[in-house]
Amino acid sequence: MKAVCTLCPRRCSLEEGQRGFCRARENRGGQVVCTAYGRLTSLALDPIEKKPLRRFFPGSRILSAGSYGCNLRCPFCQNWEISMADAAAPTTAVSPEALVRRALELRPAGSIGLAFTYNEPLTAYEYVRDCARLAHAAGLKTVLVTNGCFLREPLEALLGDIDAMNIDLKGFTPDFYRLVGGDLRTVQEAITLSAARCHVEVTTLIVPGLNDSESEMDAEARWLASVDPELPLHVTRFFPCHEMQDRGPTPVETVLRLRDAAARHLRWVYTGNC
Which residues of the chain form contacts with ligand SF4 (CB under 6 A)?
A: 5, 7-8, 10-12, 20-22, 25, 71, 123
Shortest distance in whole angstroms from residue 124 CB to ligand SF4: 9
Question: Contacts from 47-50 at CB under 8 Å and sequence distance 24+?
Answer: 48/112, 48/143
Shortest distance in whole angstroms from residue 20 CB to ligand SF4: 2
Q: What one-letter code names the amino acid at 11?
A: R
**Contact call for residues 64 and 118 (beta carbons, < 8 A):** yes
Question: Which of 18/273 has CB closer to ligand SF4?
Answer: 18
Shortest distance in whole angstroms from residue 27 CB to ligand SF4: 9
C-alpha torsion angle, residues 90, 96, 97, 98 (rounded to 10): 20
Question: Which of 7/135 has CB closer to ligand SF4?
Answer: 7
Shortest distance in whole angstroms from residue 11 CB to ligand SF4: 5
Question: Which of 5/187 has CB closer to ligand SF4?
Answer: 5
Question: Which of 37/57 has CB closer to ligand SF4?
Answer: 37
What span, in angstroms and rounded, lies between the C-alpha atoms of 267 and 186?
A: 24
Question: Which of 6/213 has CB closer to ligand SF4?
Answer: 6
Shortest distance in whole angstroms from residue 13 CB to ligand SF4: 9
Shortest distance in whole angstroms from residue 122 CB to ligand SF4: 7
Side-chain half-sphere CA neighbours of 41 within 13 A = 24
Q: Is the link from the previous residue into 96 a cis peptide, with omega within 30 of 0?
A: no
Q: Helix and strand tally (H, E) in the chain?
A: 8, 14
Question: Which of 26/216 has CB closer to ligand SF4?
Answer: 26
Residue nearest to ligand SF4 (CB): 20
Residue 127 exposed, middle or buried by CB count within 10 Å (0-12, 13-18, 19+): buried
